[in-house]
């Protein structure tokens, strides 16, 4: 969410993010990191991470491998091969949000209050996992987590000042080297609430709204949403909350490739069928850097449009992913 086009860019190469509806770009001068980072989810808009949902311990091989003959059907269910089997309860969610949330006053004034939904699990249940509830008795909102047993945990939080804040949810067990805590830690900036023996479901599908109920629960303005397949330490969360720019973002490999003019080199191999899928995948990752998008389109825009009709399914899919990241 780093530009006015409301980009749905996956920097990790493991998702197929799909935008639904028309989320609004951040207003000029309001963006996170003193830039244009930010997307406001409004009614009927959300982001779907992956058609099958996303679990940090069962990453689909759809984009982690790029055999030219692979189709969606034979890769979407193939799990990533880990060196060590991951723990489903070891993950971290972080997201910058702008307070106050949803700008639609009509929703907040509804009888019985309203919910601003951040995360929702996969169909058929589509469980709302993290949301903020507003009503007349709680005009400041109550943050709520719904655990894997479908129990709601309301969290009393400090009053937030208008502006950007960091939400971080760290799920861990005593086996985690970074967080030897058996439960969930809920952070707002550097403030923390411990929830012992409470874990939310490691299954993520929709971000920013609840489309199973008509898309009338938009979360509002967010930026830089991340899911880590590990537990962040308290110190790492503290550093995230104090970030003022993108210098410390976990995209150093892409930045190094940009410095080496990788786009110019990768384009030279797009005519070779056995290389095209991997080159497109690398260009897609490079396109997660906003500074590289214009250059990539300049050197291979026409060729990219031709590859979208390639007879090889993976080449088609990687070309469409690259075009999505460039648009």
Whole-number average pLDDT of the chain: 85
Averaged pLDDT for residues 171-192: 96
Confidence grade of residue 250 (pLDDT, cut at 50, 70, 90) = confident
What Cα–Cα distance (Å) separates residue 301 from each residue in 26, 136, 294? 27, 53, 10
pLDDT over 70 at 119, yes or no:
yes
The pTM of this model reads 0.84
**pLDDT of 248 higher than 90:** no
Give the per-residue pLDDT at 158.
94
SS (H, E, C) 135-177: CCCCCCCEEEEEECCCCEEEECCCCCCCEEEEEEEEEECCCCC
Question: What is the pLDDT averaged over residues 51-80?
Answer: 63
Q: What is the pLDDT of residue 316?
A: 87
pLDDT higher than threshold 90 for residue 324: no
The whole-number pLDDT of residue 72 equals 53
Flag whether pLDDT at 239 surpasses 90: yes
Question: What confidence tens digit (pLDDT) does each residue in 72-107 have?
Answer: 555 555 555 555 678 999 999 999 999 999 765 555
pLDDT in tens, 264-307: 999 999 988 778 888 998 898 898 888 899 999 999 999 999 99
Residue 139 C-beta-side C-alpha neighbours within 13 Å:
3
Nearest CA to 42 out of 202, 197, 218 is that of 218
Average of pLDDT values for 231-239? Answer: 95
Angle at 253 between CA 3 and CA 57, to 5 degrees: 85
Closest CA to 319 of 18, 138, 311: 311
Parallel, antiparallel, or unpaired for β 91-99 and 46-48?
Answer: unpaired
- Give the mean pLDDT of 162-173: 96
For the stretch 3-54, pLDDT in tens is 656 555 666 666 767 888 888 988 888 889 888 889 999 999 999 988 888 8
pLDDT of residue 114: 86
Host H or E run for residue 225 = strand 221-228
Q: Is the confidence at residue 168, as pLDDT, over 60?
A: yes
Distance, in Å, from the CA atom of 226 to the CA atom of 208, rounded to the nearest integer, reads 13
Q: Which residue has the higher pLDDT, 141 or 3?
A: 141
**Which H or E run contains 263?**
helix 262-267
Tokens of 95: 């997201």
Q: Which residues neighbour 117 within 8 Å (Cβ) at sequence distance 6 or greater?
A: 128, 130, 131, 206, 208, 209, 210, 217, 218, 219
pLDDT at position 110 over 60: no
At 243 the three-state DSSP class reads coil
pLDDT at position 307, please?
92
Whether the per-residue pLDDT at 232 is higher than 90: the answer is yes
| 238: three-class secondary structure by DSSP | helix
pLDDT at 2: 64
């Amino acid at each position: 969410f780093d530009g006015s086009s409301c980009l749905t860019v996956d920097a990790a190469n493991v998702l197929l993010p799909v935008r639904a509806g028309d989320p609004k770009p951040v207003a000029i001068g309001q963006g996170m990191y003193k830039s244009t980072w930010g997307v406001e989810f409004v009614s009927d808009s959300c982001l779907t991470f992956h058609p099958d949902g996303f679990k940090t311990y069962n990453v689909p091989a759809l984009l982690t491998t790029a055999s030219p003959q692979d189709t969606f059907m034979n890769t979407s269910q193939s799990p990533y091969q880990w060196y060590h089997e991951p723990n489903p309860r070891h993950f971290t969610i972080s997201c910058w949000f702008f307070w106050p949330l949803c700008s639609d006053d009509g929703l907040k004034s509804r009888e019985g209050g309203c919910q601003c939904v951040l995360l929702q699990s996969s169909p058929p249940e589509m469980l709302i996992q993290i949301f903020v509830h507003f009503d007349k008795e709680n005009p400041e909102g109550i943050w709520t987590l719904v655990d894997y047993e479908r129990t709601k945990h309301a969290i009393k939080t400090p009053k937030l000042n208008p502006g950007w804040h960091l939400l971080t949810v760290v799920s861990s067990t005593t086996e985690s080297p970074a967080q030897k805590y058996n439960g969930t830690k809920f952070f707002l900036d550097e403030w923390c609430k411990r929830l012992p023996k409470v874990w939310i479901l490691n299954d993520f599908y929709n971000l920013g709204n609840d489309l199973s109920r008509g898309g009338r629960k938009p979360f509002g303005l967010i930026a830089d949403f991340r899911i880590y397949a590990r537990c962040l330490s308290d110190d790492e969360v503290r550093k995230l909350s104090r970030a003022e720019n993108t210098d410390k973002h976990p995209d150093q490999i892409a930045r190094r490739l940009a410095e080496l003019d990788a786009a110019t080199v990768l384009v030279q191999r797009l005519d070779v069928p056995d290389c095209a899928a991997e080159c497109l995948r690398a260009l897609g990752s490079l396109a997660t850097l906003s500074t590289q998008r214009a250059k990539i389109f300049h050197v291979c825009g026409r060729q990219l449009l031709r590859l979208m009709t390639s007879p090889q399914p993976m080449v088609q899919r990687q070309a469409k992913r690259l075009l999505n990241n460039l648009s």
